[in-house]
Amino acid sequence: MEAHHGTQDFEETDGDADNLRLYQQLYSYAIHGQTNRFNDTIANELHDPNARVQLLSRRSPQNNTFVHIAVSSGHVKLAAKILQQHKPLLLEKNFEGDTALHIAAKAGDIDTTTNTLLREARGTTNVENNGDVLTLLRMKNNEENTALHEALIRGHQSVAKCLIDADPAVSLYTNKEQKSPLYLAAEQGLVEIVKLIKEKAVEKNIEIQGKSPLFAAILGRQKKEVLKIISNMEANILNSKDEKGRTPLHCAASIGYLEGVRFLGRRLVDSHQEDHCGNFPIHYASSKGHVDIVKELLRYCPDSMELRNSSDQNILHVAARSGKDNLVQYFLKKVEFQMLINQKDNRGNTPLHLAKMYD
């Protein structure tokens, strides 16, 4: 009996060793794109269909399948052959949560994306199976990025267009940072992508989710063309607020983005909106010493000079407290700002007091 058990243990171990040897061979073939050797090994060594599926389903130390490995190495034909033998690998994730489509999108590989992965998801070249396609396109990795997010993060516009065409709705899905592909495209000023998403998704009444793409365009200092497209996407987008209660005008004023301030001003955006800390856009501009922004804000909304923040401070207080001597001098030289000089905040300080305190 002892001898019998010993022989059985040896045979199981030997079988495991054979499987490991085969796996390592196939792994090497997948990395190097040796399609014929990969296929021949599967055909010659694994006659049992269950054993074949079991080996094809085996994972690497980073939980990559053979499809992940082939795609990451740029071997399109091999990836297609593997999927034809075991299609469920298409939806499998590695330890980063990436599917093979995520990897192809990161690499900017349009051929793998369109001609291989999406085709295999549809089942055949001609007959579209929307269920599998949409499942694949909408899958998120550990950063909650879809493949479309990954393509745009790396600036792969051709891949992005392909993915948007396949599923327009995914262009408004959000990731961990609450950024949608539309946000990423706006941030980078990708005019064609922004237009495509507007046409394919927004105009089809799919709701914009997550962080406002207008904030993205403002923070990215994008040209007026991008701002114009986005500003027409939703009725209230010009006065939308972020998690701190800031409007796009707050952001444009803060970063000194003159073209953005002008764009918003011409659309009569309300400059009397305060954030959660009680600051108005003109206070943001004053704290950064943006003389040109202050001038522009006052040009289209002159009474903004009277606005006070939650500390009852006017724009001269804010400039003095922030040590922005250039803006302080500008205010002091202009007659229209004389009324600000002796005003007191909620602690009884005039702008001059604050200038001395923060000097």
Distance CA 314, CA 282 (A): 10
Start-end ranges of CATH 1.25.40.20 in the chain?
1-142, 241-359
Token pair in block for residue 134: 């949409």
Domain 241-359, what fold? 1.25.40
Three-state secondary structure readout of the chain: CHHHHHHHHHHHHHHHHHHHHHHHHHHHHHHHCCHHHHHHHHHHHCCCHHHHHHHHCCCCCCCCCHHHHHHHCCCHHHHHHHHHHCHHHHHCCCCCCCCHHHHHHHHCCHHHHHHHHHHHHHCCCCCCCHHHHHHHHHCCCCCCCCHHHHHHHCCCHHHHHHHHHHCHHHHHCCCCCCCCHHHHHHHHCCHHHHHHHHHHCHHHCCCCCCCCHHHHHHHCCCCHHHHHHHHCCCCCHHHCCCCCCCCHHHHHHHHCCHHHHHHHHHCCCCCCCCCCCCCCHHHHHHHHCCHHHHHHHHHHCHHHHHCCCCCCCCHHHHHHHCCCHHHHHHHHHCHHHHHHCCCCCCCCCCHHHHHHHCC
More confident residue, 64 or 17: 64
pLDDT digits (tens, 9 = 90+) for 87-112: 999 999 999 999 999 999 999 988 88
Q: 342 is written with which tokens?
A: 């002796």
The architecture that CATH gives domain 1-142 is: Alpha Horseshoe (1.25)
The answer to whether residue 12 scores a pLDDT higher than 50 is: no
* Cβ-based neighbour number of residue 77 at 10 Å: 12
Q: What is the pLDDT of residue 126?
A: 41
Assess contact for 144 and 173: CB atoms under 8 A.
no
pLDDT the model gives residue 190: 97
Q: Is the pLDDT of residue 318 over 70?
A: yes
With cut-offs at 50, 70 and 90, classify the pLDDT of residue 22: very high
Whether residue 236 is predicted with pLDDT greater than 50 in this model: the reply is yes
pLDDT at 124 over 60: no
